[in-house]
Amino acid sequence: MSDSVASSPFYTEDHDAFREVVRQFAEKEIAPHVHEWDLAGEVPRDLYNKAGAIGFFGDGFDEEFGGHGQRDALMRLVLMQEISRAGSGGVVAALLSNYIGLPPVQKFGSDELKARVLTPCMSGEAIAALAITEPSGGSDVARIRTTARRDGDHYVINGSKTFITSGMRADFFTTAVRTGGEGAAGLSMVVIDGDSPGLDRTPLDKMGWLASDTATLYFDDVRVPVENLLGHEGAGFSMIVNNFNPERIDLAAQSIAFARVCYEEALAWARERETFGKRLADHQVIRHKLVEMDRRINANQAWLELLAWRLNAGDDPVAEICEAKVDATLAFEFCAREAAQILGGASYLRGDTVERLYREVRVQAIGGGSEEIMRDLAGRQIGL
């Protein structure tokens, strides 16, 4: 990320080497194109192949299916933050839907299913998405209404999902369905192929993340082989809950990287722009804004690195990850606003990096669990 990372005790030469690769990848393959892709409403399909070639999708997945053969929360932090330097949450979301769609397949899928799903997703040939949220609710997953009725050696799926990242072109949907009665115990997870008859998709027009295809999905008697069930019937709720933790620290990591992009844009402008006979950076009111941004970024960065280290050590700091997501997105929101104030009119023009990130703040603070849900969950974890 920055000089502060270079002096962090957590990173090894492996992290540094992969950081350099992802940084170059973001600078050359992504940053020059983000506005064009925002206008197009999608990223080019071959970007997934290019990302797959450097091992972009592999953290936490078996080597035999094309993954890294290890889970390293610090490597993941590096990956999230370096790809975010390109300044587009939409591109990050599009590329990284694999990281929310595939972990349940890795943990609970059969080897046959892993070979069919993980292998093409690791190389970028295929895209996976996670389908949990429904039009009737998101975070309250125990009330999911989409049903999976057993019919011989198939499940028959009926219902709808919405706000699904990569929903328009995902090849596999890891989907929460109700196989049993009311409540959490009736939930299961199945993998639904993107080309299944009876599956329809509608694109969603959004405030931000424009380069990411987001969709509402409709399942009308979609038949899914029982082999696509992950784990056993009724195990879905814990899979969903456990899947949220990595997603939340990923979102926090991205948010702090985006906050730093805002800070660096503002800093460069403040050093260059002159008003009333001196640089913007020489006005105390602007200096304070910049220092306040840097302060919040550095504090969050230190916290994220410690959390990643604890995850690697086997700890499961659920409450702190919730808190870190809240603080990271608030810091990002603050930095996007202050950067816009410093950049002035330029930050109001479409195509400007801060303009894009200012809009994308909202989804970082809502997706993967809103601030309100995060605080509530942290409170319960603490035992309030």
Partner 1 sequence: MHVIVCVKQIPDPALPGELDPATNTLKREGKLILDESDGYGVEMALQLVTAAGGGEVSLVSMAPNDEVSGLRTALAMGAAKAVLVSDPALSGADALTTAKVLGAATKKLDDADLILAGTESSDGYTGTVPEQLAEVLGLPSVTFAKTVEVADGALKVDRQTEAGYDEVSCPLPAVVSVTAGVVEPRYPSFKGIMAAKSKPVETVTLGDLGIDAVSWAQQIVSVDDAPEREAGEVIEDDGEAFGKIVEFLDNLKVI
Q: Give the binding site for partner 1 (CB under 8 A).
A: 14, 17-18, 20-21, 24-25, 53-56, 58, 68
At its nearest, how many Å lie between partner 1 and the CB of residue 320? Answer: 27
Q: For residue 348, what are the contacts with CB-CB under 8 A and spacing of at least 6?
A: 340, 355
Looking at the Cβ atoms of 16 and 200, the one nearer to partner 1 is 16
Looking at the Cβ atoms of 25 and 37, the one nearer to partner 1 is 25
Give 30: exposed, middle or buried? Use CB within 10 Å, 0-12, 13-18, 19+: buried
At its nearest, how many Å lie between partner 1 and the CB of residue 10? Answer: 17
At its nearest, how many Å lie between partner 1 and the CB of residue 248? Answer: 23
At its nearest, how many Å lie between partner 1 and the CB of residue 2? Answer: 13
Strand duo 147-151 + 154-165: pairing: antiparallel
Looking at the Cβ atoms of 55 and 101, the one nearer to partner 1 is 55
Number of neighbouring beta carbons within 10 Å of residue 99: 22
Looking at the Cβ atoms of 104 and 124, the one nearer to partner 1 is 124
Nearest-angstrom CA–CA distance, 167 and 128: 9
At its nearest, how many Å lie between partner 1 and the CB of residue 54? Answer: 5
At its nearest, how many Å lie between partner 1 and the CB of residue 71? Answer: 13
Looking at the Cβ atoms of 27 and 221, the one nearer to partner 1 is 27
As a whole number of angstroms, the longest Cα–Cα distance in the chain is 79
At its nearest, how many Å lie between partner 1 and the CB of residue 61? Answer: 11
Nearest-angstrom CA–CA distance, 240 and 133: 11
Answer whether 270's CB lies under 8 Å from 342's CB. yes
Distance of CA 227 to the CA centre of its chain: 28
Report which residue type is found at 232.
Answer: H
Nearest-angstrom CA–CA distance, 43 and 52: 14
Looking at the Cβ atoms of 260 and 325, the one nearer to partner 1 is 260
Looking at the Cβ atoms of 99 and 237, the one nearer to partner 1 is 99
Q: Where are the alpha helices (DSSP H) in the chain?
A: 3-6, 13-25, 34-40, 46-53, 73-84, 89-96, 98-101, 103-108, 111-123, 236-272, 284-312, 318-343, 353-366, 371-382
